[in-house]
Amino acid sequence: MLGAWSLASAPYDYDVIVIGAGHAGIEAALAAARMGVRTALLTTNCDTIGQMSCNPAIGGVAKGQIVREIDALGGAMGVFTDQTAIQFRLLNRGKGPAMHSPRAQCDKKAYQLLAKETVERQPNLTIRQEMVESLEVAGGQAAGVVARGGGRYSARAVVLTTGTFLQAIMHTGLSQTRGGRGGDVAAEGLSHSLAELGFELNRFKTGTPPRLNGRTIDFDRLEPQPGDAQPVPFSFLTDSIDRPQLDCHITSTNPAIHDLIRANLDRAPMYSGQITSTGPRYCPSIEDKVVRFADRESHQIFLEPEGRQTLEYYCNGVSTSLPRDVQEAMIALVPGLEHAEIMRFGYAVEYDYAPPHQLHPSLETKGVPGLFLAGQINGTTGYEEAAAQGLVAGMNAARRVQGEPAVVIGRSEAYIGVLIDDLVTRGVDEPYRMFTSRAEYRLLLRHDNADLRLTELGRLVGLVDDHRWGRFQSRRDGITGLRDRLERTRSGSDSLFQILRRPETSWEDLVGLDPSLAEAHLAADGVEQVRILAKYDGYIARQLEQVERFRRLEHKVLPADLDYRAIPQLRAEAREKLSRVRPASLGQAGRISGISPSDLATLLIHCKQPRFQG
């Protein structure tokens, strides 16, 4: 039941409550607890804390940048990955540094157990196995939650990180089961509680492929995909990775498989009408691929090991909700998988999410102060996007309790800022996935400089401890010192930094001009930072100018109580969209789909009127 209630009657009293212990919940709970507030992490099953429900991989294009940013701020995902990964690859090595993206295949159980142990050891953090049924509100603000069986938890801030579990239904063929993933029950009460509080809820779907027993795979017929000889770590605390790596393998579908799928589309939930909600366009099911790309004769399949102590393989590329018999027939037609045994069948999951226009950029809800949402409940997909939101939501929940202003990370500062701004400004009509193309300033937002961009902020809010801060200062000072040295040292009429800017000049060429550089014991990552700064100096300067223009628009604040419907000069579409999003600045208003330059000019003139000045 919603409404006023006595906090004194609640037996469990905390500052921040986090609901859900997936990747968003873990980062949120650790952030709040590390910032010194009493935190409770409530999960339906303590044995699945940190579980990697889909592919046990971290990073990838743009996602790798996000994980480096999480780490730079003091988050946990990068550390978990470095300690449990079984293969590392830096993607897009042949492209410019803005496109380089680290990716790792993790040991599924080792990652989960490390995450579980980490939250268990965290001071200020209580973990409790509870099924949360409803939210409690007092005085118009979040005040706690009620768990199944009547357990009441009070708090000054609540973070919802419920993943794919809200009113979740799993589909395999015509079979339907309530649950957010195989083996786990759905969360039934929270959707009703959110709806009672006035939140808009919609439905999305996601899917997963079959898992195979590696003993039954013919690896001789597959193309091996080894990891990098010199792995790039995710955490700035990790000096190097030197343990053995496991190979992934590549195979593909063929016309016989596509014919089989077409012949059974009437039994596929997405095509039979059983599922009507929207799925991720950039990670489609094999049914979608066959229909949408009818001219393609094959699609790649990546067979990725799930750990060192298991033979289970993730069949990446054939996400499906087709019936079991069709899945078995399909796998048997894949080269190298003719005798492969399915250990887990693929399935699709439908679940509730809350369209993110209902959030401030701090991830606090507009309708209920003190309530924060993070992860797939906001319409995103992916461990990395979820963890980033969890970190920001947990950080801001703690700052709310501490009486401090919310931290908002801008688009020009981090991929995390791009992610959150896209969500709250543009909303979602399909599960959101991060790409490098979404970031206007991606040359500035590289994975290699995430600490230089964000670690000072992490230190300011209390997430970066003395050990990490000391390492950061040493690295930052080393990079600054090397650049200064190159700019001071001359060869002929040019400085060594100017010479390094030339496309044909390598670091080795520079050492030839100044042999003392070879004896200076320079850190390899510091050398690479300075090399990038030199090679892309002109491009970086232009992006910094663009950022400055962007910031000027961001600083033109729009009044929180501005009545857009009362501005007759605005077009009807603009009035409706501005009222829905309620942008914090003129810059944010300009990023709303459908808002034109003339609308922005109208807003600027309107806000210059005397009643809006001072």
Q: Identify which of 56, 26, 614 has the alpha carbon closest to the alpha carbon of residue 308.
A: 56
Same domain, 186 and 162: yes
Residue 368 shares a structural domain with residue 493: no
Per the structure, the count of domains in the chain is 4
Question: 490, 519, 545: which is the final residue of a domain?
Answer: 545
On whether both 104 and 34 belong to a single domain, the answer is yes
**For the segment 505-564, what is each residue's pLDDT rounded down to a tens digit?**
999 999 999 999 987 788 888 899 999 999 999 999 999 998 898 888 888 888 888 899
Phi and psi (nearest 5°) for 477? -65, -35
- Kindly state the tokens that stand for 143: 């005040």
- Read off the pLDDT band of 611 (50, 70, 90): low
Report how far residue 313's alpha carbon sits from residue 306's, in angstroms, rounded to the nearest whole number.
Answer: 6
Classify residue 1: in a domain, yes or no: no
Final residue of a domain: which of 323, 345, 367? 345
**Predicted confidence (pLDDT) per residue in 322-373, tens digit:** 999 999 999 999 999 999 999 999 998 899 999 999 999 999 999 999 999 9
Return the CATH number at 601.
Answer: 1.10.150.570
Whether residue 442 is predicted with pLDDT greater than 60 in this model: the reply is: yes
Determine the pLDDT at residue 601: 83
What pLDDT is recorded for position 553? Answer: 81
pLDDT in the model for residue 278: 77
**CA-to-CA separations, 350 to 170, 441, 451, 478, in angstroms, rounded:** 7, 35, 37, 50
End position of a domain, from candidates 512, 545, 578: 545
Give the pLDDT confidence score for residue 559 in this predicted structure. 87
| pLDDT, position 604 | 80
Segment 100-110 mean pLDDT: 97
* Secondary structure in 3-state letters for 551-603: HHHHCCECCCCCCHHHCCCCCHHHHHHHHHHCCCEHHHHHCCCCCCHHHHHHH
| Distance (Å, whole) CA 586 – CA 601 | 10
Per-residue pLDDT, averaged over 575-593, amounts to: 89
pLDDT at residue 182 above 80?
A: no
Tell me the C-alpha to C-alpha distance, in Å, between residue 353 and each of 28, 143, 192.
18, 22, 12
Q: How many percent of the chain have pLDDT more than 90?
A: 75
37 contacts 401 by C-beta, under 8 angstroms? yes
The single-letter code of the amino acid at 558 is: L
pLDDT band at 3 (very low <50, low <70, confident <90, very high): very low
Asked if residue 259 is part of any domain, the answer here is yes
Identify which of 303, 318, 310 has the alpha carbon closest to the alpha carbon of residue 248.
303
Are residues 434 and 385 both part of a single domain? Answer: yes
Q: Are residues 200 and 215 in the same domain?
A: no
Are 164 and 89 contained in the same domain?
Answer: yes
Average pLDDT, integer, range 177-191:
81
Residues 564 and 505 in one domain: no
Nearest to 184 by CA among 168, 205, 171, 172: 168
Rounded to two decimals, the pTM is 0.92
The tens digit of pLDDT for each residue in 281-326 reads: 767 899 999 999 999 999 999 999 999 999 999 999 999 999 999 9
Q: Is residue 551 assigned to a domain?
A: no
Domain at 515, CATH number: 1.10.10.1800
Q: Look at residues 4, 85, 53, 64 and name the one whose alpha carbon lies nearest to residue 348.
A: 53
136 is a domain residue = yes
- Asked if 65 and 196 sit in the same domain, the reply is yes
Tell whether the model's pLDDT for residue 10 goes beyond 50: no
Give mean pLDDT, residues 115-125: 98
Domain that holds residue 283: 211-345
Tens digit of pLDDT for each residue in 376-400? 999 999 999 999 999 999 999 999 9
pLDDT tens-digit profile of 220-255? 999 999 999 999 999 999 999 999 999 999 999 999
568 and 494 together in one domain? no
Residues 150, 36 within the same domain:
yes
Tell whether 120 and 97 lie within a shared domain: yes
Percent of the chain's residues with pLDDT above 70: 97
Beta-sheet pairing, 342-344 with 141-147:
unpaired
- pLDDT tens for residues 449-480? 999 999 999 999 999 999 999 999 999 999 99
Asked whether residue 60 falls in the same domain as residue 154, the answer is yes
Which has the minimum average pLDDT: 109-123, 131-145, 567-581?
A: 567-581
Cα 227 to Cα 535: distance, rounded to the nearest angstrom: 28
Please report which confidence band the pLDDT of residue 610 belongs to, taking 50, 70 and 90 as the band edges: low
- Identify the residue with better confidence: 459 or 613: 459
